[in-house]
């Protein structure tokens, strides 16, 4: 009987009680130079760690349009082309000001940067820099994002 109850708990009840991860869209902003592709990293506002622009879904926008909007707000990508197809995803633990956290599944869309400007909504809150995909992989913390960056060529 205990085995039956354990099976019901782990196979049915426990999965129903778990919250699904929240979702965000991210922009892997890039440009091509003679030396190869470069990707644009920005610092997070809270800890200053290196990240790619990302944010919550925006009503009325597709996922790739949301990624492009985040690239504007967080990195100053004034003009760019967001691919409608994601290149992958990664998860991370989002920490909130009240100390709580939640798992976030982040879908990544490549954005070919055409125009980058110095005046953008979060310019005073972030630092940005262009680096090779390999260097970017060394700078970010999230293991799955590291893998995406390493494979981006």
Q: How far is CA 39 from CA 7, 13, 46, 111, 115, in A?
A: 47, 43, 22, 10, 14
Q: Can you read off the two tokens belonging to residue 118?
A: 């110095």
pTM: 0.84
The fold for domain 20-151 equals Nucleoside Triphosphate Pyrophosphohydrolase (3.90.79)
Looking at residue 14, what is its pLDDT? 56
Sketch the domain layout of the chain as residue ranges: 20-151
Residues 87, 129: Cα–Cα separation, whole Å = 21
pLDDT for 105-141, tens place per residue? 999 999 999 999 999 999 999 999 999 999 999 999 9
């Amino acid at each position: 009987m205990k085995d039956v109850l354990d099976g019901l708990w782990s196979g049915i009840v426990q999965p129903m009680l778990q919250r699904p991860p929240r979702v965000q869209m991210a922009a892997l902003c890039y440009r091509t130079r003679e030396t190869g592709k470069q990707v644009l990293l920005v610092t997070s506002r809270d800890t200053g760690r290196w990240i790619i622009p990302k944010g919550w879904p925006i009503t009325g926008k597709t996922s790739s349009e949301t990624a492009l909007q985040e690239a504007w707000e967080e990195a100053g990508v004034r003009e760019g082309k967001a691919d409608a197809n994601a290149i992958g995803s990664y998860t991370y633990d989002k920490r909130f000001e009240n100390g709580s956290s939640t798992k976030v599944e982040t879908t990544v869309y490549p954005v070919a940067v055409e125009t980058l400007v110095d005046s953008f909504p979060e310019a005073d809150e972030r630092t940005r820099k262009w680096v090779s995909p390999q260097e970017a992989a060394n700078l970010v913390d999230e293991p799955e994002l590291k893998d995406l960056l390493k494979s981006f060529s």
